[in-house]
Amino acid sequence: MAGSRLSRWFDRKGWSDLIVGAPYIWLLVFFLLPFLVVVAMSVATKTSTAPPISWGGEVPLVSWEAYARVFGDGLYLRAFLTSVLNAAVAMVLCLLIGYPMALGLVRVAPAWRNILLMLVILPFWTSFLLRVYAWMGLMGRNSWFNGMLTDAWNVLVPVDWAVRSIPMMNTNFAVVLVMVYTYLPFMILPLYASLERLDPTLDEAAMDLGSKPARVFWDVTLPQSIPGIIAGGMLVFIPAAGELVIPTLVGNASSPMIGRVISDEFAQARDWPMASAVAVVLLLMMVVPTMLYSHFQARAEGSK
């Protein structure tokens, strides 16, 4: 009897509830619970144990020392600032490069569209580390890429400013360059999805009323693509701000990004409370603006 009731419940409502609740279960198990563990470690006290934390006993149950160091130590503040600036520059460059590409994908002939979309995602078929190492070779002092940029520099600047090679490796320039290359598809694809949904008759109507193409773009196309711009910006900025591999391989060790600082605190300094506090602050910096945007976006759509 109980088995038949359970079967009828699944037939009527259970499967739909299970499917709807699956994403929430996923977030609970793989995001919320690990995040709570990290928060708990961030308010613990460092000890000589492994993991090097302890709650209660001879040390305080809750310690805010790690958070005081996050906001009081110049090392962490500079790392946060470097991360935000590099991620913001990479996001803006991805937008400037990706928007024309996404617009071209929308307006190209349908026969070419799938081929061009495949070319956009083609780098993902190659190992991420292999692509970063390829850029390390390109930015070396003796590479053809460096030589080409050096020749262009020497042509454009006075003789007194001429150089034999441009130092690109271990600089923020290298970090931003590789991040733009890596995250550019994350900007193009949301922009393409947003632009593809636009009604082309609106552009035609504006031109019929006498607007020039540039004016049509600024007054009609660009405002309607703002959701795609915001989505692409978040997809680029959030992972770029916490990037670890790219700054480690091509960045400057004296000016680390926050991902490198967290890794060093965990692996080398073995200061798990400090690393956890930095990770919590970084996560809040990324998640809170995203949640606020989603909230106000939902309210705006609901008001319509």
Domain boundaries, the chain: 73-270
CATH of 73-270, one of 1.10.4080.10, 3.40.630.30, 3.40.50.1820, 1.10.3720.10: 1.10.3720.10
Report the mean per-residue pLDDT for the chain: 83
CB-count burial class (<10 Å; 0-12, 13-18, 19+) for 214: exposed
DSSP 14: I
Q: What is the pTM of this model?
A: 0.83
pLDDT digits (tens, 9 = 90+) for 119-174: 988 888 888 889 999 999 888 888 888 888 888 888 887 766 777 778 888 889 99
Alpha carbons 23 and 101: distance in angstroms, whole number: 33
In which band, very low, low, confident or very high, does the pLDDT at 85 lie, cut at 50, 70 and 90?
very high
In terms of C-beta density within 10 A (0-12 exposed, 13-18 middle, 19 or more buried), how is residue 178 classed? buried
pLDDT at res. 96: 95
Q: Which residues contact 168 (CB under 8 A, 6 or more apart)?
A: 139, 146, 149, 174, 177
**Percentage of the residues of the chain whose pLDDT score is greater than 90:** 24
Query: In 3-state terms, what secondary structure has residue 54?
Result: strand
CB atoms within 10 A of CB 128: 12
Tokens 């506090």: give the residue.
Answer: 277
The secondary structure of 3-41 as a DSSP string is HHHHHHHIIIIIHHHHHHHHHHHHHIIIIIHHHHHHHHH
Tell me the three state secondary structure of residue 107: helix
Strand partners, 53: 46
* pLDDT, position 55: 55
Q: Taking the chain, what is the end-to-end CA distance rounded to the nearest angstrom?
A: 49
